Amino acid sequence: MRRALIVIGKAPEPGTTKTRLVPFLAPDEASALYRAFLLDAIHLGLQLGWERTSMVHPRGAGSALKAIVPRQVKLIEQHAGGLGGALAFAFEHHFEEGFERVVLIGSDNPTLPAEPIEQACAALDSYDVSIGPTSDGGYYLIGLRRPHLELFEAIDWSTPRVCAQTLARAQQLGLRVRAVREWYDVDGPADLERLHRELRSAPEVIAPNTRAVLRSLGVAATTTGA
């Protein structure tokens, strides 16, 4: 069984990444934190031991990403605009290469464990779609066993309706869906505080890049008790 894990993300650049953390963090600090999120997501993908770990990114970001992403990760420049187009392109590309199970995750969930990804892949033996909802109404994971690209049409991206609309879309298309456990995106200061609380009680091996950046920024001291 040919399996691929896709991380969708972008190059960490001040002023364009994690802007909702500004002014709580300076733009360069928010960018450094996103870089750590991205590296932790990629590290998680590589730990799975699947045939392929890829990163799909916007046009023009390849050079910057090549400098920070491990060489065994395949960088793929997306050809379509918008999040829906990027997701459709990511799945289409991998199914055209012959992969039979394709799972895509975001890069905003640095403490995400491997178990939901593995469960999502296993679910595709019996279901058409696997999905991991986020606490804000979106999803951090989606898996397919066929290129059902219509799933990404007519969705109000970047709204709390994304997951519900995707499930409704799957029903319209006659696709069977299996949900895995809910997780959370780290987008704003409240999410950062939640992340800090989680890391305080988590083993040191969890999100090592994120943990290191938070310590270097002194975020632990500034968020405790907030």
Q: 25-57: per-residue pLDDT in tens?
A: 999 999 999 999 999 999 999 999 999 999 999
Q: What is the pLDDT of residues 54-105, one digit of tens each?
A: 999 999 999 999 999 999 999 999 987 789 999 999 999 999 999 999 999 9
Place of tokens 């456990």: 181
Entry pTM: 0.94
For residue 213, give every residue at least 6 positions away whose Cβ sits within 8 Å of its Cβ, in sequence order, or none.
32, 33, 35, 36
Please state, in angstroms and as integers, the Cα–Cα distance from residue 70 to each residue in 44, 75, 190, 212, following that order. Answer: 12, 10, 31, 18
**Contact (Cβ atoms closer than 8 angstroms) between residue 156 and residue 169:** no
Written out in words, the top-level CATH class of the domain with range 3-185 is: alpha beta
Q: What is the residue extent of each domain of the chain?
A: 3-185
| CA–CA dist 22, 75 (Å, integer) | 28
**Contact (Cβ atoms closer than 8 angstroms) between residue 56 and residue 37:** no
Backbone angles phi, psi at 165, to 5 degrees: -65, -35
Q: Are strands 52-57 and 3-8 parallel, antiparallel or unpaired?
A: parallel
Type of residue at 40:
D
